[in-house]
Structure 1
C-alpha cells in the first residue's frame, strides 16, 4: 500500500494528464457547443441514397404514398388505375422491392471512385419501411418482406472496407402510422409514437451500425420537445458508441432547422453562394427534380458535369459540404447514367481534389471581377495557399481582382506541369498568362484550378 502522500500526488497527476471530459446537457445551448468532428469538415463530398418501397412504382418520387392517398395527385391516381388492380394497396408494393441485384461492394466501389468521403443511406423514409430488421417495425422492414436482408448492415460493412464514413438518414414521422396519427389528433400532447417507434429505431441504428452521420428528417410538424430530440442527442454525444465521431444535422423539430444541430441543411438543395458562418450541407440531387429513382427520367433531367462541379465548388467555397443524391432501382442497381456522373466526379476530384478536400473558405468566395471564379484556401507551415477554381476556361489571359501578389507569388494549374507566367495588376489583382493546351491534354474537362502561393496578406 502506498503512503497517503504518494496516493494524493498520483491522483493529482492523473487529473492533470486526463482532464475532465465534457458532457452535454439536453438543451440546445449545450448541444450546439459541441465541436464538429474534423473528419466531416474535411470530407466536403458525400453521396445520398433514397431507396425504399417507393422505388417499386418509381414514379413521382419518395412521397408516392402520401401523394396517392392523402393529396390525391391525379397523375398517380391515373397511373394506378392503368397499371394495377383496383384493390392494390401501397403495402403490396413491398413484395416487389426485391433488391436481387444489390451488391454493396459494387456500390462501395462506385462511391470510392466518385471521391465520396461519406455515404448517407435512407434507413427509413416517411413511408415507415425500415431498411434494417428493426424490432419495432414488424413485417414492414427489409428482412421480413421484400429483399429479405439487412440493407443497412450490408452497405455499412462494404463502405467501411473502403474507408468511407457511414451515414444514416432517418425520418422521425411516418405518413400513416396509427400512433403518429393519434398523437397528431391530440395536438401532439401525447408521445406514444415517439416512445414506441421513433426513439427505439434511433437507438437501434446507433447501437447496431455505429454511423458517423445521423441525418434526421420529417420533423417539421411539431417542436423538438415532442420528438425528445435534445435528450436523444445528449445520449448520442455523451454515451453512445459513436460519441466522438458522429455528426448530426438540424432537422430535429420545426424550430431547429437552420438554427441548431451539428451542421445546417436549412432547405433541400440549400445553395447560399455566400459565406455561411456555421457549417452547412447542400443536400442536392443528381436528378434535377426528384430524390428517388423514377423510370420516366430523361437525360435532360440529369445534371450535367458542368452543373455538378459548379454545385460542389460553390458549396465548398462558402463553407459547406455537398451531399449528392442518387436513387437506386427497386432491384438494387445504380443506373448507368448516375454511375457515369459519379465516376466523372471522381475523375475531376482526382485532379482538383487538392482544392476541395481539407480546405477552408478564403476571405473572398467569388472573385470581385470574374463571377466564374470561386476560391478556397488551405493553410500549411509555409503560409496559406489559395485556389482559384474556374467554371469557364478563359479565351485569353485570366484577370483575377481579389488576390494581392508579391514578388514570390507562384502560380500553377492543377494537373499541368510547370509554373505559369503572371503579372501584377494595379492597384490589386493579377493577370495570369493562359498556356495553349490542346483539348485532349487539358487537365480536366469541366472546371479548372489555379493554385496561388505566396500571396500578400493571404
Structure 2
C-alpha cells in the first residue's frame, strides 16, 4: 500500500447538506450493506511475514512497510528476487485457524474482512492454476487460506473481500515494478514495456481475478494504485472492470483500481482514501479509509509505534460522521497468529462497540457540526424520528457539552451506555448545551444520545 492525496477526488463528492437529519448521500442497494457496516478488518499476510521487517539482522529501509521488504530490505539495494522468493519454502503458518481469525473480527464488531490474496511480491494465498508461485505449490503449508477463510466467513455471516495487486507484481517478468521517479533504489527499478505488461495482464492478472471470483465469490475486490500509472490504460481499466461486472455484478470495486483517473468515481462502487488518510469533510459517495495500528501493514517485529484504542475509535467514529468506513489492518505473524498488541486493541474496540454500536452501524453524517470535543453521527429511525450520537473524545472540563447546528430541541438526552438522562438548555444560534456527569462513563469515548 502507498500513501497519496485525494483532494481532487474528494472535492467532487463533498455534497451539500439538505434538511435537518442526514445529508443526501448517494446510495444504492448494491452498496447499502457496505455503508451500513462501517467497520471492517484488513489483513496483510504473506511471505513478508517471515522476515517481519528485518533482513540479515538489519531493519528494512525507506519506511516501515514490512510487506515491501523484497524491495526495501538491504536498502537501497533490495533483496535479490531469488533470495526473497526462497521464503516460500519456509512459509508454514501452522497456527493459522480461519475460524479464530473470523471470530476475532466479529468480536471486534467488524462486519467484513479483506485479505491480501496477492500482494506486490506476486505470491498467491490460494492454489492458483495460473502460477506455481502460490501457497499450495511453493510452500510446505499446502492449504488454501482463502478457501478456509471463505468457509469460516460464511459460517459466521461475515463478508469476505480480497486485496489483489493488479499493477505491481515483482515475481512475473511483465508485472510492474516500483515507479522509478519515487523509488530511489540502487540500481533503479527496471520498468517493463507495454508489451511485457500486456503479457502479464492477459496471462496472470485477468485469469487470477477470474479464479478469485469463480472460486470464492468475494463481496469486494480491493485493488491498489497510489498514482495514475500510465501502463494501466483506459482500455485495460475498462477490461478489468468489465470482467468483474460480467462474472459477479454484486462484487464491489474500489477506486484505487486506478487512482487519479478523472472518471474513476463513476466507474467504481466506493472510494478508497490513501493509507491512513482521514478526510475532514463529508463525501457523498461510499468511501473508506484503510488504516494501521502502528506504521506497518505486514507484521513488523520492530514496529513499536502502537496507537491507543481511543485513537483508533476516534478514527472510526470520525469517518462515520463523514459518511465513511474504517478498515483496520492486522498483520499476522508468520505462524498464523495475531500479535497480542493487535488482539488487545481489537477486543477493547469490540467491548466499546457492544455498548455503543448504534452510533456506528447504519449511522452517518449529520447537519450538526463536529466540534473539538468529538464527532456527531446520526441515525434515522423512521419518518420524523432520529437520534444524534455525540461521541465525546475530549471531555469538557466544565462538564458543558455545546452542540451547534441544531434548529430544534431534542425530546430527550441521555448516556447511551446507561440510559442516564441529562439536562440541557438551548444554546444561542441553533444549538444546545448539555450538562454532563462529573466524569466520563468511558475514558475512551463516551456517547451521549439526543433523541428526536
Matched residue, 2:339: 335
Q: Does 1:397 align with 2:403?
A: no
CA apart distance, 1:409: 2.5
Q: Does 1:145 align with 2:153?
A: no
* Residue correspondence of structure 1 range 47-446 to structure 2 within 5 A: 47-59=41-53, 60=60, 61-68=66-73, 71-72=76-77, 89-138=83-132, 140-146=133-139, 147-172=141-166, 173-180=168-175, 184-187=191-194, 191-218=198-225, 220=227, 221-225=229-233, 228-237=236-245, 239-240=246-247, 242-244=248-250, 246-253=251-258, 255-256=260-261, 259-260=264-265, 261-287=268-294, 289-298=295-304, 301-367=305-371, 371-381=372-382, 382-404=384-406, 406=408, 409-436=411-438, 442=441, 444-446=442-444
* Contact 2:410 2:450 survives alignment (8 Å): no
CA distance in 1, matches of 2:176, 2:234: 14
The CA RMSD over aligned residues, in Å, is 2.6
CA apart distance, 1:195: 0.2
CA distance in 2, matches of 1:430, 1:33: 31
* Contact 2:368 2:405 survives alignment (8 Å): no
* Contact 1:275 1:365 survives alignment (8 Å): no
Match of 1:43 among 19, 32, 37: 37
Aligned residues: 398
* Contact 1:404 1:428 survives alignment (8 Å): yes
CA distance in 2, matches of 1:48, 1:295: 19
Q: Deviations over 1:61-100 (max 9, x none)?
A: 1011112488426xxx7xx9xxxxxx97111211221110
CA distance in 1, matches of 2:398, 2:197: 67
Report SS of the residue matched to 1:115.
Answer: coil
Of the two structures, which has the highest relative contact order with CA contacts closer than 8 Å and spacing of 6 or more? 2
Call closer, same or farther: CA 1:186–1:47 in 2, change over 3 Å: same
Matched residue, 1:6: none
Q: Deviations over 1:161-191 (max 9, x none)?
A: 1111001000013024213369953245861
* Contact 2:27 2:286 survives alignment (8 Å): no
Call closer, same or farther: CA 1:259–1:402 in 2, change over 3 Å: farther
* Contact 2:288 2:324 survives alignment (8 Å): yes
Matched residue, 1:451: 449
What residue ranges of structure 1 are gaps of 5+ in the alignment? 1-31, 81-86
CA distance in 1, matches of 2:356, 2:28: 31
CA distance in 1, matches of 2:138, 2:422: 61
Q: Deviations over 1:179-217 (max 9, x none)?
A: 336995324586111000000000100110000010011
- Which range moves more in the overlay, 184-193 or 349-358? 184-193
What residue ranges of structure 2 are gaps of 5+ in the alignment? 1-25, 54-59, 61-65, 178-189
CA apart distance, 1:411: 0.4
* Contact 1:316 1:356 survives alignment (8 Å): yes
Report SS of the residue matched to 1:283.
Answer: strand
Report SS of the residue matched to 1:62.
Answer: helix
Matched residue, 1:22: none
CA apart distance, 1:379: 1.0
| Bigger Cα Rg | 1
CA distance in 2, matches of 1:307, 1:50: 21
Call closer, same or farther: CA 1:387–1:223 in 2, change over 3 Å: farther
For normalisation by structure 2, the TM-score amounts to 0.82
